[in-house]
Amino acid sequence: MPINPDAVGATGDPVSRSWNSKDALLYAVGIGAGTNELQFTTENTANVQQRVFPTFAVIIGGGGSPMHKVGSFNPALMVHGEQGIELFDEIPPNGEIESTGKIVGIWDKGSAAVLESESESFDKATGKRLLKTRSMLFCRGEGGWGGERGPAAKVQYPDAEPSHQVTYATRQDQALTYRLSGDRNPLHSDPSFAARGGFAKPILHGLCTYGFTGRALLHSLCDGDPARFRSMNARFSKPVIPGDTLTVSMWAEDGKALFRTTNQDGDVVIDQGVCTYG
């Protein structure tokens, strides 16, 4: 069936998700962390306690959203539009959460439909709220039913040089590593599937680019301390090709930073970024 705007407000059943040290380590290398970040990439280095990147929230969170109620769309024409995370405590290397999600918006962009969902997760061991995620999926070819277009507010970047700027290179096989954290969409690995979506080659997961960006924010704004990281929200504006170089620019002031990420050609690939930290 086509997209069903009446699904807005639908809530899913609670779902549980557990993870262990290996899952957190695999995610860390999937977003490019290496030998200079051993607290995130090893669990047995002398005098180093394993910690978890805040953006790991996108791997363990997001559960319970009733996506089966929004209708059908072509997965080859679907891309990630926007992603947000909010942390209420530091994510441990091992744990289990229970998440409940809901559909909070279905927007008609004319040439596409945008599906917006939220999910809240509680630590099953303590009962405390651990994290919240927000996601928007951009489904090309599914709009045009005359619905609302959705919010149009935009981040206004300062007319000044960034207070922080970090550049990371992605690997040619970056998507093949990142997909092992759970997103096996062939858009990121199968050339023929990518071609069906209009791409010359498989593209990098938007959430991998998001993870690279989150690494830069964590190290620049929080001195690498995940306990200080509060929230991150951003829009995906252009696909990244594995092997691209990413530069994250930040304008930080009083516990809040605006940010965006560009590729080696200066094209903005993550836009409208807002991060809060303590």
The catalytic residues are 183, 188, 203, 206
Tell me which residue of 151, 178, 180, 167 sits closest to 81, measured CA to CA. Answer: 151
b (16+ CB within 10 A) / e for 78-110: bbbbbbbbbbeeebbbebbbbbbbbbbbbbbbe
Give the residue carrying structure tokens 């930080």.
Answer: 252
CA distance 130 to 253: 26
Q: What is the distance between the alpha carbons of residues 151 and 134, in angstroms, rounded to a whole number? A: 15
In angstroms, rounded to a whole number, what is the distance separating the alpha carbons of residues 184 and 92?
24
Q: How far apart are CA 41 and CA 24, in angstroms?
A: 8
d(CA 225, CA 165): 18
Between CA 191 and CA 154 the distance in angstroms is: 34
Q: Hey, is 198 helix, strand or coil?
A: coil
* Local structure of residue 267 (DSSP, 8 states): -
- Rounded to whole angstroms, the maximal C-alpha distance in the chain is 60
**Stated length of the chain:** 278
